[in-house]
Amino acid sequence: MFSIGNKFRLTVFGQSHSAAIGGVIEGIPAGTVLDEDAIARFMARRAPGQALTTPRRENDRPQILSGVADGRTCGAPLAFTIENTNIRSHDYERIRDVPRPMHSDYAAAIKFGGANDIRGGGQFSGRLTAPICFAGAIAAQLLADRQVTIGAHISSIGSVEDSRFDPAGVCAADLRALSGMEFPALSDEAGRAFRKLIAEVRDAGDSVGGTVECAAVGVPAGIGDPMFSGIENLLARALFAIPAIKGVEFGAGFEAARLRGSDHNDPFEMAADGSVRTRTNRHGGILGGITTGMPLVFRVAIKPTPSIALEQDSVSLSERRNVRLAIEGRHDPCIVPRALPAVEAVTALVLADLIAIPAR
């Protein structure tokens, strides 16, 4: 439930308002010097308190409890915590009885018989993507040593769309440039339009969804296994751990269903260096669940934030009657910018687990 990976394995724990959240990472090669600046930069991209996200300010600094000695990983599990400091639990008293439409409150109340921690969304909170990002940043560092680079951009917000990656030509430099942007969009114009829409929606007390496109380049051909252990299977399982992700499409995705084979097939060709590549990349770098050596390219759909200021219909679970619900508290008007680093992080976790990391 809370663990992912075999050779490189992450277990996550905590709730939004417990004393801390954190995780245990197994499989980091002993002797690795963690790039603390890169990890901090990665985590800052997810943290709240930026323009157009929730005004909650949380200190997302991980405390490493074990697994590092003399500045290097020592082969033992790396356990870490991230304190939960910015907590206003009284915001959540009413929704214990009146579940928020489209949040996990009702389903969790049934499953856990009302014993679930409702504060801040409990174990279902987007805050749990902080430990995922910490582990993902470490996985990305290990992958960078093997010339694998992962990056993502916001491809749409509401009905405003940006262009997409060139799936056959996207390169590591393109992806690294995006990671330095506070609001990663391929075109400045789309970036401005995205921000404008999010600000409008926020001022209206509402929320909006969108899509993120992610790519990984430098992934060697031949990684992944058929049937239940394909790269698509593993990535989808990991991506759906990020709250609010509702869809994943690889390569041409759903568009492929509208095409003929002659329009959809990616022709093979010999590259100048003697390797086999495809001229186009509608297959998104995966065939038969196995990588082809072309960039991995996929998109995820992220729903609008469930908690909105506008009044909505719900029910009182104790009084068994319909009621109106006005949600208070500090919520993201759009989850997309903060989910984006988590998309990169789970991709790094999946790939680090598959691309053999030699034990030293």
Ligand X SMILES: Cc1cc2nc3c(=O)[nH]c(=O)nc-3n(C[C@H](O)[C@H](O)[C@H](O)COP(=O)(O)O)c2cc1C
Binding site for ligand X (CB under 6 A): 54, 103-104, 121, 124-126, 129, 242-244, 303, 305-307, 331-332, 335, 338-339, 342
Q: Report the amino acid identity of residue 26.
A: E
CA–CA gap between residue 214 and residue 348 (Å, rounded): 11
**Contact of 165 with 214, CB cutoff 8 Å:** no
Of 214 and 339, which has the nearer Cβ to ligand X?
339
Cβ at position 167, least distance to ligand X in Å: 25
**Contact of 205 with 309, CB cutoff 8 Å:** yes
Indicate the residue whose CB is closest to ligand X: 126
Q: Report the amino acid identity of residue 338.
A: R
Q: Write down the H helix ranges in the chain.
A: 36-46, 105-111, 129-144, 172-179, 188-203, 231-239, 261-264, 336-354
**Dihedral sign, Cα of residue 111, residue 116, residue 118, residue 124:** negative
The count of C-alpha atoms lying within 13 angstroms of the C-alpha of 269, restricted to the half-sphere facing its C-beta, is 10
Of 266 and 332, which has the nearer Cβ to ligand X?
332
Of 124 and 194, which has the nearer Cβ to ligand X?
124
The count of C-alpha atoms lying within 13 angstroms of the C-alpha of 106, restricted to the half-sphere facing its C-beta, is 12
Cβ at position 262, least distance to ligand X in Å: 38
Cβ at position 171, least distance to ligand X in Å: 28
Cβ at position 341, least distance to ligand X in Å: 9
**Structure tokens belonging to residue 12:** 């996550």
Cβ at position 304, least distance to ligand X in Å: 9
**Structure tokens belonging to residue 16:** 């939004």
Of 53 and 73, which has the nearer Cβ to ligand X?
53
Cβ at position 176, least distance to ligand X in Å: 22
Closest CA to 151 of 289, 286, 291, 340: 340
**Contact of 326 with 271, CB cutoff 8 Å:** no
Residue 193 backbone dihedrals phi, psi, to 5 degrees: -65, -40
Helix 336-354 to helix 36-46 angle, to the nearest 10 degrees?
140
Of 54 and 155, which has the nearer Cβ to ligand X?
54
Cβ at position 247, least distance to ligand X in Å: 11
Cβ at position 163, least distance to ligand X in Å: 24
Closest CA to 343 of 266, 272, 241: 241
Of 58 and 266, which has the nearer Cβ to ligand X?
58
187 contacts: CB under 8 Å, gap ≥ 6: 162, 163
Cβ at position 322, least distance to ligand X in Å: 21
Of 256 and 309, which has the nearer Cβ to ligand X?
309
Of 67 and 126, which has the nearer Cβ to ligand X?
126
Of 50 and 316, which has the nearer Cβ to ligand X?
50
